[in-house]
Structure 1
Amino acid sequence: MSTTGTEPSPASPLERARSRYGERAVQVVLVAAALVSVATTAGIVISLVPPTAEFFESVSVAEFFTTTVWAPLFEPPAYGVLPLVTATFLITLIAVVVAIPLGLGAALYLSEYAHARTRKVFKPILEVLAGVPTVVYGFFALRFVTPALQTYLPAGLQPDIFNAISAGLVMGVMIVPTVASLSEDAMSAVPQGLRDGAYALGSSTRLVAVRVVLPAALSGVVASFVLAISRAIGETMIVAIASGNKPALSFNPLDAMQTMTGFIAQAGSGDLPTASLDYKTIFAVGALLFLITFAMNFVSARLVRKFREVYE
């Protein structure tokens, strides 16, 4: 017996599938996390801009960026930020000279030379250094590294009690795990087929690591470098303890000097009136530090996109 009219077509499996509430919940959580990050960045900018603008109403931009004396808490005050910027980049340079060779070498070893069991043991041990409080690194630099340098360096090259070289060396050790861990992750993501092809052509492990794996993971390696440099620039406790609070324009790493973060820590821990110009110097230096870090991250993103390799 035939029926007239059209019968509804059976629902497809996708239509019959129940809504996945768990995935929607995860998506909501991830979106909320992203919005919190954006809101935090916006909050930092909003908190820095008004006091910084009020600071530059009293101090000219030319004086701030071109003069070489920083003494905002003395009479007469001086607001030349160059000593703080020079000390920040000098100590960061020392840290980078230590961290990049050690971190990249550790990453190459763990990725290309170490056995699986060795990697499982050594990588967590290496990453433990990232969990050590920075105040411990600061006291280590002050009580161990500086006396060792004063003991073993020849006369005339011995550093002051507070100096840039000990702070830079210890800061370099602190950021080694950042370079090593992120670089090793990038190298481990390189397809094994690239290695097998190079070995099939008779390449040694060194050639495979340097000529194949490292170029293929270059974007991740560059990102690890920039992240480590950003962390070194923003480090506070090591420089506050080991490098001193003397804002002097010097390129000698054996001298005491003060970084931007060191000044912020020193001034922020004092009893400065919140409406005073001295208090607003904290925000001016903080805004400059924020701009430097933002510029580095922007350049890092461009470099990562330029050198990124995509494999299927």
Structure 2
Amino acid sequence: MDSLVVAGLLIVLLGLSYQTGWSRSRALATTAGVKIHSRPQYHGALLAIWTLVPALIILGAWAWVGPGITHDFIVSQIPADTLANLDQVGLNTTISRISAIASGYGVAGEIQPFEQAGGNALRSFQLISFLLVIGAAALAGGAALFYARGRISARLRARNTVERIINLVLLACSAVAILTTVGIVASLVTEAFRFFTFINPLHFFFGTVWAPNNAPTGSNYGSYGLLPLLAGTLMITAIAMLVAVPVGLMAAIYLSQYAHRRLRAVAKPIIEILAGIPTIVFGFFALVTVGPFLRDTGRLVGLSINATSALTAGVVMGIMIIPFVSSLSDDILNQVPRSLRDGAYGLGATKSETIRNVMLPAALPGIVGAFLLAVSRAIGETMIVVLAAGNSPVLRGNPFEPVATITVSIVNQLTGDTDFTGPQSLVGFALGLTLFVITLCLNVFALFIVRRFREQYE
């Protein structure tokens, strides 16, 4: 179905119905001289809703059943003797070839006569069905417009109806977001439970060896110890926060308290540009620039630093999180009541003393909440650690060595051909559930602190 034609039809129906309702309402108020309950724009909006709903129902119904009807029509164009000799793969290939012929793009190889005939028939079928659906949608919309126009009167509570419909739409959008989250959690919990039917949960949560057996024989599935991955994740996160927190907080203090307005207007957007750079770019930057730089610098001072290590991934991840920490901290510092700062100045405190003894203590709950949100952002990062951490699932405390993280292991276990019948692929859901619980706890704690801060200073 041509989306441009569909969009044009809906726009025409929308504009025509809204203008009809608006002008009809205005005519009642001016010509008849009566006082109408709702303003003209509400009558126009109500008429537009009445008009669009039947058209959308018809278009949605065809979008739902149309592919199945088209599939059956294509199958009917294949000769019975040819169809009997086709397996499922061959049938799908034949259907794809007929569809390609109908679309005009053509196919590779010799075209069979029945394929050409089927393509021509399919092209005619698609045109006729498209015209019928568009005509039915336009007819339904026009009939609804005519019916709704006759219902417009001075006592029609159009505003109440429109606002009630808007409330239902907003409720549906909220329900979609909530149900999506519930569905994700349910799928994680279900698949993780299946994983724990293969692997003992105690061995998973307290195991120190990560060595999945991707070609198991019997019940030898390998070792699935979480601690090496959790240690690598926390180590990289700690390094990232050691980079991001001081730099981000100092940048926020400077921009909010010291910088001139013109400099702030330029510097803050430049810092926040870092937040718009794709993480794969940061990972490539870590792999080809930061990693070799740290390795060569370590050699100069007598340290053995691998180019792909927890230090490399942590430093680059910290650079990526700087705008996150800086922006949140800057907003929180600006929310501190000006009376506190003016009172400190009135007592003779300098600007630095005011920041240390008044501004930061007053903004500390919000700043801590920003740090915790940044931690949850760092824990869930994937592309940087995939390229820069080294992917070595060994329990170690040396940040100069390669490590593995939970996100990297999820990528490794779910990459390639997976059948989701054994622990080799199901472990990704168990790791995802663990990561979800960690970040959820951090976010809840951070939001609790931020809410407490807002209640105190608003």
Counterpart Cα distance in 2 of 1:186 and 1:304: 9
The amino acid across from 1:170 in the alignment is V
CA spacing shift, 1:22–1:223, aligned 2, 3 Å: farther
* 1:68-87, Cα deviation, whole Å (9 max, x unpaired): 11111356511111110000
Distance in 1, matches of 2:314 and 2:261, equals 33
**Residue-by-residue CA offset, 1:158-179 (whole Å, 9 max, x unaligned):** 2223211000000001001110
Q: Which residue of 1 aligns with 2:190?
A: 50
Counterpart selection for 1:39 from 179, 202, 212: 179
Inter-partner Cα distance in structure 2 for 1:198 and 1:29: 50
Please state which structure has a larger fraction of its residues in helix: 2
- What is the CA–CA distance in structure 1 between the aligned matches of 2:335 and 2:450, rounded to whole Å? 15
User: Hey, what does 1:182 align to over in structure 2?
Assistant: 328
Q: What residue number does 2:423 align with?
A: 277
**C-alpha separation in 2, matches of 1:58 and 1:218:** 46
1:5 maps to which residue?
A: none
Q: Which residue of 2 aligns with 1:73?
A: 213
Partner of 1:114: 259
For residues 69 and 165 of structure 1, the distance between their equivalents in structure 2, rounded to whole angstroms, comes to: 22
Are residues 24 and 108 of structure 1, via their aligned partners in 2, closer, same or farther at CA, if it must alter by over 3 Å?
A: farther
Per-residue deviation, 1:27:
6.0
* Cα deviation 1:212-232 (Å, max 9, x = unaligned): 222222232122111110010
Q: In 2, distance between residues paired with 1:126 and 1:21? A: 47
1:268-295: CA deviations, max 9, x gaps?
Answer: 2222222222110100111111111111
Structure 1 unaligned runs (5+)?
Answer: 1-15
Measure the CA separation in 1 of the matches of 2:413 and 2:224: 14
Correspondence for 1:157: 303
* TM-score when normalising by structure 2: 0.61
8 Å Cα contact 1:65/1:80 also seen in 2: yes
Matches within 5 A, 1:117-156: 117-154=262-299, 156=302
SS at match of 2:240: helix
Report Cα offsets for 1:138-163 as digits up to 9, x if no partner: 11111111111111213652222321
Distance 1:116 1:29 in 2: 42
1:120-152 per-position Cα deviation (integer Å, ceiling 9, x unaligned):
111100000001111111111111111111112
Partners of 1:56 and 1:162 in 2: CA distance: 32
Verify the 8 A CA contact 2:366 2:453 in the aligned structure 1: no
Matching residue of 1:9: none
Is the counterpart of residue 84 in structure 1 residue 84 in structure 2?
no
RMSD across aligned C-alpha pairs, in angstroms?
2.3
CA drift of 1:209 comes to 1.6
TM-score (norm 1): 0.88
The 3 A distance-change label for structure 1 pair 25 and 93 is: farther
In the alignment, which residue of structure 2 is the partner of 1:265? Answer: 411
Query: How far apart are the structure 1 equivalents of 2:165 and 2:249?
Result: 39
Does the aligned pair in 2 maintain the 1:217–1:309 contact within 8 Å? no
Please say if residues 219 and 308 of structure 1, whose CA atoms lie closer than 8 Å, have aligned partners that are also in contact: no
In the TM superposition, 1:179-218 aligns within 5 A as 179-218=325-364
Contact 1:72/1:281, CA 8 A, preserved across alignment? no
CA–CA distance in structure 2, aligned partners of residues 66 and 274 of structure 1: 24
Structure 2 counterpart of 1:106, one-letter code = A
How many residues in Structure 1 have an aligned counterpart in Structure 2?
297
The corresponding residue for 1:224 is 370
Quick one: structure 1 residues 26 and 197, their matched pair in 2 at CA, closer, same or farther if it must change by over 3 Å? farther
Percent identical residues: 48
SS state at 1:172 partner: helix
Contact 1:223/1:304 (<8 A) preserved: yes
Cα distance, 1:258 vs structure 2: 0.8
Relative to structure 1, is the Cα distance of residues 34 and 180 closer, same or farther in structure 2, using a 3 angstrom cutoff? Answer: farther
Q: Distance in 2 between matches of 1:299 and 1:108?
A: 24
- Does structure 1 residue 287 correspond to structure 2 residue 433? yes
Report which structure shows greater RCO (CA 8 Å, sep ≥6).
1
Deviation at 1:24, TM superposition (A): 7.1
Name the CA shift for 1:186/1:284 in 2 (closer, same or farther; >3 Å): same
Partner amino acid, structure 1, of 2:265: K
